[in-house]
Amino acid sequence: MIRAIYPGSFDPVTLGHLDIIERAAKTVDELIVGVLNNSGKTPMFSIDERVSMLKNVTAAISNVKIMSFSGLLVDFAKQTGATIVVRGLRAISDFEYELQMAQTNRKLYPLLDTMFLATSLKYSYLSSTIVKEVAFFDGDIQEFVPESVVESVQEKVQARKRMREND
């Protein structure tokens, strides 16, 4: 039984993430999408919102489980019995950091290996940050995120704009 973790912020989940989830789920027995609860960052969506959006968009994939975690990835892997970390690679700029993380994780926990999936060409430009930027300037994000996520992002953006106006 091979259990893998696909960790990330998923703030919000994009079609690029979903593509990696679908492809990784075909290669392992169980895929845990680990949603990082990082107290050092202020995300657009709360941890519960990110978990719930991911549950929604992966509901049809039976071997995918959504969980939140904080702290070290290796500790989460030990807790869940995962032996593989899945990461997506978009551009060469992702590579250096990803290699460093993969090697650090293996140093900390030698049973844990990292599997890289190359982005599908059509999503190679896509990141959660880009989605938020485009949405902030009222651009169309339908080609960037799953349908059920579009409105949630737009609502958050409008709420942020109202807050700024009242400041």
Residue ranges that bind ligand ADP, judged by CB under 6 A: 8-10, 14, 16-17, 20, 87-88, 90, 94, 119, 123, 126-129
Q: Is 41 a catalytic residue?
A: yes
Report, in Å, the least distance between residue 41 CB and ligand ADP: 10
Report, in Å, the least distance between residue 16 CB and ligand ADP: 2
Sheet of 84-89, strand order: 64-69, 30-36, 3-8, 84-89, 113-118
User: Which residues are CB-contacts of 72 (< 8 A; sequence separation ≥ 6)?
Assistant: 108
Classify residue 160 as exposed, middle or buried by CB count within 10 Å of its CB (0-12, 13-18, 19+): middle
Q: Is 128 a catalytic residue?
A: yes
Q: Is 68 a catalytic residue?
A: no
Q: Is 62 a catalytic residue?
A: no
Catalytic residue (choose from 9, 50, 87, 128): 128
Report, in Å, the least distance between residue 88 CB and ligand ADP: 2
Q: How, if at all, do strands 30-36 and 64-69 pair?
A: parallel
Q: Which sequence positions are flagged as catalytic?
A: 17, 41, 90, 128
